[in-house]
Amino acid sequence: MESKAWNWSIADKTPWREPSKEVVGIAYRWKSKGFKEVIDYGCGLGRHSLFLSQMGFHVKGFDLSPEAVEETKKSMKEAGQVGEFKLGDIKKAPFEDECADAIVSFHVISHTDSKGILEVVNELHRLLVPGGEFFVDLCAKGEGFATDPRRRIDENTLVSDEPGPEQGIPHFYVSKEQMEDLFRDFEILDLEQVRAYVLDGKISSRDHFYLLGRKK
């Protein structure tokens, strides 16, 4: 399925302005390891790019939404930070091979289908230097997946046709076994299934996997 950008013009941007606590924690790990080059893989409005840059990382980022890329550039400039931000698709990142010590992609790479996720995983591997790390999350096949009313386009992927910023955007779901198979060419450092998470003060009922991995 062709990638589709979030419709930021109708989205509530407030929850997407502050860095997530998960990424904050990972950033301190990467700082302690001496990592310098980080890619914000699907940067959105730049909440993680700005935070990472302020921590001293050199940050590259991309997003499929022109509005998001421009807002990220604006936020970085206003904060006196420097980075490289481009338009790009999660299935074909606009950066050269082995250019990153680390990659962060939070609430992003689920926005594809069963074929597309294979391309995304290949891109993560292509971009990282040997020994480089990545932190991503994916939608987990929880108890409600089988009865979810959203439109199914393959055995793992649902699409919402309801009006909103994610209308028409695919959401790829995995089991733990599928997750381990997808990332079999990496060393899995930590894999956690989160049964609820807080977004803008509200508890989400959808399960997610959080994965920290390393390129062998």
The pLDDT > 90 percentage for the chain reads 90
Average confidence (pLDDT) per 10 residues, the chain, 216 residues: 94 92 97 98 98 98 98 98 98 98 97 98 98 97 89 96 95 96 98 76 74 98
The letter for the amino acid at 11 is: A
Q: Which fold, 8-215?
A: Rossmann fold (3.40.50)
The H or E element spanning position 202 is strand 202-204
How do residues 92-149 score in pLDDT, each as one tens digit?
A: 999 999 999 999 999 999 999 999 999 999 999 999 999 999 999 999 998 789 999 9
Single pTM value for the model: 0.95
Q: How far apart are CA 87 and CA 166, in angstroms?
A: 18
